[in-house]
Amino acid sequence: MSETSVRAVRPDEPLLPEKVAYWYFRLNGFLQIENFVVHPGRKDSQRTDADLLGVRFPYRAEFLLDHPDPIRDDEDMLRPSSTVIDVAIVEVKGANQLCALNGPWTIEERQNVNRVLAAIGCVPHGLINEAAAQIYRHGIVKHDHHLRIRLISVGRAKSHQLEERFP
């Protein structure tokens, strides 16, 4: 075990918001990639990154075969679907910050959402711009009755301004 991983499990170490978010989404059934980099068109540095990129399938159940009561997902906050595949682009804020989405995820002209959709391949190429436009406007898009893609912010508390823009 490396020194870094040993320190991460010490009780006197503070919990990093990114790790708390990772485990929250993991325990709610999301398969994840941490720090998903949105690559530039050519030799520049990265455009941006998603703190977490996750996908959750509708029939998922933790401990279904091992316990009479499987773990229940956080339906109040996360609103997981039991009918569609759920893709989450997650922005994690620091321990004392309100939920927020950085410019790369809210400024449509930068086309970062478009690039993520293309990179993960969850919508046909011809529909990427349409799906991304819905995400930029509403923070969510439902595609073809089997897929939901949404922006999710994790922070210390809700931001009423963000909630107004993306209910």
For residue 5, is it within any domain?
no
Tokens at 96, concatenated:
């004392």
Residue 2 inside a domain? The answer is: no
Does 76 reside within a domain? yes
Residue 129: inside a domain, yes or no? yes
Q: Flag whether 54 is in a domain.
A: yes
The whole domain housing 142 covers 15-165
- Structure confidence at residue 124 (pLDDT): 95
Q: Which long-range contacts (CB under 8 A, 24 or more apart) does 139-144 make?
A: 139/101, 139/165, 139/166, 139/167, 140/166, 142/84
Number of domains the chain contains: 1
Q: Read off the pLDDT of residues 128-152 as tens digits, 9 standing for 90 and up.
A: 999 999 999 999 999 888 999 999 9
What's the pLDDT score for residue 2?
A: 47
Report if residue 135 sits inside a domain. yes
Residues of the chain with pLDDT under 70: 1-11, 40-47
Answer whether residue 10 is part of any domain. no
Gap between the Cα atoms of 117 and 149, Å rounded: 9
Confirm if 13 and 4 have CB atoms less than 8 A apart: no
Q: Please, what is the Cα angle at 66 between 63 and 69, to 5 degrees?
A: 60
